[in-house]
Structure 1
Amino acid sequence: MSVCVSGSYTLFANRSNLKTVAVLSREKKNKMGVQYDLKQGQSRNFHELPSGLSMEVIVQKGEEKKKNGEHPLPPLVFVHGSYHAAWCWAEHWLPFFSSSGHDCYALSLLGQGESDEPADSVAGTLQTHARDVADFICRNIRSPPVLVGHSFGGLIIQYYTSNLGSDKLKEDLYPKLKGAVLVCSVPPSGNSGVVWRYIFSKPIAAFKVTRSLAAKAFQTSLPLCRETFFSATMEDHVVKRYQELMKESSRMPLFDLRKLNASLPVPSVPNCPLEILVMGAKDDFIVDEEGLKETAKFYGVSPVCVEAIAHDMMLDVSWEKGAKVILSWLNGQEK
């Protein structure tokens, strides 16, 4: 991939089709009232979609000293879930994986973080979000990446992978992947099964989850925010910081959940053409163990359940646990 700089724009050219797309090299006017300060080695760019709307991309390139092996390490593209944005990956996991040599790209889906908002009441659909991710990869990433998705971001990746196969049109629309990692992902059938299991087996938890997420009570209740996303040992000031960022990240709903559930389950993937890691958290307050097993069974793999960590695995106090599982899996793919 060649990079050309012209004025305030950075142009990425994909050698395979010589198409170019403008990515703003300067920051746009801030959309989030609470700003996320980037860490050393990170940059904030904006990928322009065919619609003219721009997606925020936080980039952290891999350390060169660890990239000079026989086989170049695959780039990693991170996709967040509801009430989050690119910053949730930039906090811990981008520095961690870039220090191991991986080029890292964290996206903010439309209507989230510093990305533009579409002219609708919701940010998009499973299909439009997956196409936006695909467009970014097609125009900016030279070699097949590994997609890493959290929660509803994992469901978006599942839809992406369902479009991979022998169909030439789909190959053009959805670039090939090296692999995919589903982190505390919403299962292929959606979250309705999880909700109903909670109602019958954990009615108090069901009430709390509904109040926290559907009624957005996590935005005003520190204890509820902690219980929903993090471990009990996370300090108040850290929970407060993430709470404020999550509140500012989601200016509009990621999906219309009724329409989303009506479109599910995601299409099956016979003879899935890539390796998939399905990973969950033992203390997940949102996606239960049955949901984790459903996703793993869908892809014919054994799930990995990380002990003593909560739903926001990439932000939690023991964030290294999940990161190390993924890194070990990535290293295994390179052998």
Structure 2
Amino acid sequence: MAALLSLHTVSQLQTNLSTSRVTVKPRAAVHGAQRMRVPYELKQEQSRLLHQLPSGLNMEVIVQKGVAEKESDEKKERTSENPPLVFVHGSYHAAWCWAEHWMPFFSASGYDCYAISLLGQGESDAPSASVAGTLQTHASDVADFICKKLTFPPVLIGHSFGGLIIQYYIANAKPDQFLDMRDFFPELTGAALVCSVPPSGNSGLVWRYLFSKPIAAFKVTRSLAAKGFQTSLPLCRETFFSATMEDHLVLRYQELMKKSSRMPLFDLQKLNAALPVPSVPKSAIELLVLGANDDFIVDAEGLKETGRFYGVSPICVQEVAHDMMLDCFWDKGAKVILSWLKDLKK
């Protein structure tokens, strides 16, 4: 099997998802027909808005307001003391991945929830380039939404490559920053990195897999670089979910992933060349680093690297896989984050 991992395959592994060119110039919108063919069906208390970015492109945001039951009666009302939560997805996903379980969970605990679809994903417009953007442009799009639509510093929650986007954001987030709005990153209450790509990017993960787990390396390449997860149910399950995930759920999410991502999030060769992200002082922001014990993509060393980089002890959730927010025991990770959020208020 190791012989199958040629230098060409190694190159594929290092890019992992794509090898396209990127631009940071204003990007032209695509026609609506190039969005998801069948929009994700929202739950009763959820809504969808299109946030217009400075480039003129529209970014999908799924919204679910927080509610809490009064002790005096069963009537529900919005709560205002909790920070809003802004969710950022990773590759091959979109805002819908948070709307399934975590947005209803956190909304029921009194948190206003906003899940963003990055450009070229979900119902968001796509730029005219061959990739959706860079760490800078994606983080700037998130910042633009926060600046224009939120009145209180939010908690950012990012998954996989969405976690890396958040790492770039927090490296640039400063209070009372009077700069050109294109460079403005509003301050945060905190950030949670969920099964996040580490600060150095995915190259370290790739090389560890290549030399210690060649079969796994081959599968990762086939699943992500060659998009094999889109056609193989077993490979999709192994890449993103626990072995016990029911077939009908894997098939449903597999189809949503295929429809969600019309273009790669990054040119990963250029991305890795620009990493690691800048470090921040330990006291600069409240940070949670959360991983999954059965993660097929981000290994234990990758989780530890992120924790060391930010000077925090990472938490590894047992019995869940890379797509922690969709997996069989999705509530395990959600409960860890909720406990951490409650500690932020103390």
Do the structures match in fold with TM over 0.5?
yes
Aligned letter for 1:191? Answer: N
- The residue number in structure 2 matching 1:31 is 35
Distance apart, 1:273 and its partner CA: 1.7
- SS of residue paired to 1:269: coil
For residues 1-335 of structure 1, the aligned pairs below 5 Å read 31-65=35-69, 72-165=81-174, 168-169=177-178, 173-335=184-346
Count of matched residue pairs: 308
Distance apart, 1:165 and its partner CA: 3.4
Distance 1:73 1:29, change over 3 A: farther
**How far apart, in 2, do the equivalents of 1:297 and 1:138 lie?**
30
Distance apart, 1:164 and its partner CA: 2.2
**How far apart, in 2, do the equivalents of 1:323 and 1:155 lie?**
20
**How far apart, in 2, do the equivalents of 1:30 and 1:206 lie?**
32
Deviations along 1:231-284, one digit per CA (max 9) or x if unpaired, are 010111110000000011110001000111111000111244210000000000
Distance 1:64 1:293, change over 3 A: same
- The residue number in structure 1 matching 2:20 is none
- SS of residue paired to 1:314: coil
Distance apart, 1:40 and its partner CA: 1.3
Query: Any unmatched runs of 5+ in structure 1?
Result: 1-27
**How far apart, in 2, do the equivalents of 1:329 and 1:271 lie?**
17
Aligned letter for 1:39? Answer: K
Deviations along 1:57-108, one digit per CA (max 9) or x if unpaired, are 0000001546979970000000000000000000000000000000000000
Distance apart, 1:33 and its partner CA: 2.1
- SS of residue paired to 1:168: coil
Preserved contact between residue 164 and residue 171 of structure 1 (Cα < 8 Å): no
Higher fraction of strand: 1
Aligned letter for 1:154? Answer: G
TM-score by length of structure 1 reads 0.89
- SS of residue paired to 1:279: strand
RCO higher in structure (CA 8 A, sep ≥6):
2
**How far apart, in 2, do the equivalents of 1:155 and 1:272 lie?**
19
Preserved contact between residue 79 and residue 110 of structure 2 (Cα < 8 Å): no
Distance apart, 1:169 and its partner CA: 3.9
Over aligned residue pairs, what C-alpha RMSD do you find?
1.8
**How far apart, in 1, do the equivalents of 2:34 and 2:64 lie?**
20
